[in-house]
Structure 1
């Protein structure tokens, strides 16, 4: 049972209660509600929310709530600071790990490899300005293969190194995910304990303090009580801040998984490239070299005729494609209708949201004015009552 507090306790410095116990690790499912549950939980009292936890977690939250001393100096700003500091440290670790590695290195190596293979000109022909395409000798083709093969081997070595780093990062993200889940659970339990302690105090002890202040008839006692109520309001704001941090922590979980899955995709792509793409490329090179040997036995005139026909065909196709591309570019509007529709939609949305915000602001100001007049009236009445009581 909580110790009864008097106005004298509020005016002085009461003893500090023991620190909150270390948090256990309840089932995450018990602390992370679904969308429907979240809407229903918003209307529950702290005790009702705590009752939905496992028995071990309920006992721990109750113990934490019992350790909260509202007369302690600075409780309204220091409550939950350790959990909050741990969350901040965790976020700094994620940022540090992200900055310390080049996340695009593996992707760039893969792109370089594919470009090198694509530009190796393994079909037995080489493009030259104006002249077009001429047959490449088998010796030149073999030398080109040897040069590209060395480049590919170097890239493969770098890819394997980058792959090992990505695998290590994936394991690191697993640890980060577990740490983030634990911090989320700690924040939720800290918030529930604070809500329970505040609700219990307001229901059980605050009425006695108000009655004591009213009975004393002393304006200074009334001021002490007013200051203490302000402290309770700041504590409630502190609980709300911790609750919002918990939401941010929950949002971090899928973000970690997105980064982890992206790294896993690159790891899989590296495996596919090393085990499939490169062997296929080397097999095609062997075929190309064999075809080059066969072509040496062909009649020179037939080879010249073949090359001429290929040149004419390629040039005709290039001319066709160039003319089509040029006409498409010429017919394209400077500003497309989809762009205008998008701009118009965004503008209409902006106007609507602006009007809505203005309406809400006006309504809030009106409500605040009514509340302020009520507060002035209540304060004046309280002053009159105090003066009559003296």
Structure 2
């Protein structure tokens, strides 16, 4: 398509009465000017000379000439419109929009996981979280890189399209100028015929009163009307060309904006996301280290408090034990009382024993006396 446009652009505005024949056309050497309204079209001296020379060649008595007048320019415009339509039809900017949305979707999938409570679970869960975070970032980064590669390809194509649309715009300017020159030449010739030849025929018909002279006036008037309609058709075609210019610029503007959006995503959004990824991992490492340090400090303080309390209790007990005598006074008092009671009991038992022995001795003496008495009685 670009090659066809290059070939078309090599041709400057031309005027010909034989658009499909071998007649050599007059070529303007001046570069095409920007599009303006019909009444504001400014032709160069060379182009005005071309219009005057071409108007002199127009023969309104030729029906075939009227039929083909400006047909070549109209065909160029039709081919050009088809080329422009094909260029717009083959675009799929929606795919680019979906890719940009995919970048946002990938970044939104990076959600942090909640941590379990507890000192020992922190170390295990924190390590898993960091590993999961890195895995998610690596997966998202791979997807984003693939999307960016596709976006770069689209950007290259968009830049080519922008350059091609510039050529299309310049070519449309050329066609607009060519149509304007056909219209100017046709109107010049039409005005000339109506003011000279038509006036002469009308005067002749009035003077002679012959029907053939009146028919000649009617025929020339009919040809003039046909040619005027042809010029009007060319004006409609030029209006299409006039509308084509802002349409081309709008499409080109859309391509430019989309290309800039892709460029911004590639050079700004993605590097910023990667830097934020590094910062997020760094912050996570710092948070993990800080929390671990906090947990260790808390645990150390708890152990110190517990050990201090244990030491306090042990010290107090030790002090109490060291301040005690070898034997408590209560123990000595109880032992002494028990010993006295024991001695009293022993003395009591001994006294009772003595009394019992004395009684037994008396009883033994009595029994011995009785026994002796009994034996004496027997002998």
TM-score by length of 1: 0.61
Instruction: Kindly provide the CA deviation profile for residues 125-177 of structure 1, in whole angstroms up to 9, marking residues without a partner as x.
Output: 479xxxxxx98711111111111111011111111111111111011101101
Q: Distance in 1 between the 2:32 and 2:285 partners?
A: 68
Higher helix share: 2
Partner of 1:142: 134
Aligned residue for 2:44?
54
For residue 301 of structure 1, report the CA deviation from its aligned partner.
10
Match of 2:91 among 94, 98, 101: 101
Alignment of 1:247 onto 2:239: yes
In the other structure, the counterpart of 2:109 is 119
Instruction: Determine which of 117, 135, 153 is the counterpart of 2:145.
Output: 153
Which of 53, 68, 81 is matched with 2:58 structurally?
Answer: 68
Q: Are 1:31 and 1:188, in contact at CA under 8 Å, matched by a contact in 2? A: no
Check the 8 A contact 1:61/1:193 in 2, yes or no.
Answer: yes
Which of the numbers 82, 86, 92 marks the counterpart of 2:82?
A: 92
2:26 to 17, 22, 25: 22
**CA separation in 1, counterparts of 2:103 and 2:254?**
20
The whole-number CA distance in structure 2 between the counterparts of 1:247 and 1:74 is 25
**CA contact under 8 A between 1:65 and 1:196: conserved in structure 2?**
yes
Mapping of residues 148-227 of structure 1, within 5 Å? 148-227=140-219
Shift of 1:27: 5.7
Given the alignment, which residue of 254, 261, 270 partners 1:269? 261
Tell me, in whole angstroms, the C-alpha distance in 1 between the residues paired with 2:247 and 2:179: 19
Secondary structure at 1:107's aligned position in 2?
helix
Does the aligned pair in 1 maintain the 2:66–2:227 contact within 8 Å? yes
- Sort the Cα spacing of 1:69 and 1:20 in 2 relative to 1 into closer, same or farther, 3 A: farther
Check whether the contact 1:20–1:64 (CA below 8 A) recurs between aligned residues.
no
CA gap 1:19/1:237 in 2 versus in 1, 3 angstroms: farther
Deviation at 1:31, TM superposition (A): 7.1
Residue 300 of structure 1 and its aligned partner are, at CA, apart by: 11
Alignment of 1:290 onto 2:282? yes
Distance 1:250 1:230 in 2: 30
Output the CA distance in 2 between the equivalents of 1:273 and 1:125: 28
CA distance in 2, matches of 1:56, 1:301: 89
CA distance in 1, matches of 2:30, 2:246: 20
Equivalent in the alignment of 1:45: none
- Superposed, 1:320-331 pairs within 5 Å as none
Q: Which moved more, 1:107-116 or 1:171-180?
A: 107-116
The 1-side partners of 2:146 and 2:129 are apart by 26
Match in the other structure for 2:332 = none
State the number of aligned residues. Answer: 264
Corresponding residue SS for 1:104:
helix
Give, in whole Å, the separation in 1 of the partners of 2:43 and 2:141.
62
Render the CA deviation track for 1:277-333: whole Å, top value 9, x for unaligned: 11111121122222323343426998xxxxxxxxxxxxxxxxxxxxxxxxxxxxxxx
Q: Find the aligned partners of 1:223 and 1:204 in 2 and give their Cα distance.
A: 17
The gaps in structure 2 that reach 5 residues or longer are 1-17, 116-124, 296-379
Report the equivalent of 1:320: none
For the structure 1 residues 175 and 112, does the alpha-carbon distance in structure 2 shift closer, same or farther, using more than 3 Å as the test?
A: same
- The TM-score, its normalising length taken from structure 2, stands at 0.63
SS of match in other structure, 1:71: coil
Distance in 2 between residues matched to 1:55 and 1:98, nearest whole Å: 37
Could you list the runs of 5+ residues in structure 1 that have no partner in the other structure? Answer: 1-15, 42-48, 128-133, 303-390
- Decide whether aligned partners of structure 1 residues 247 and 199 sit closer, same or farther in structure 2, where only a CA change above 3 A counts: same
- Give the alignment's Cα RMSD to 1 decimal: 2.9
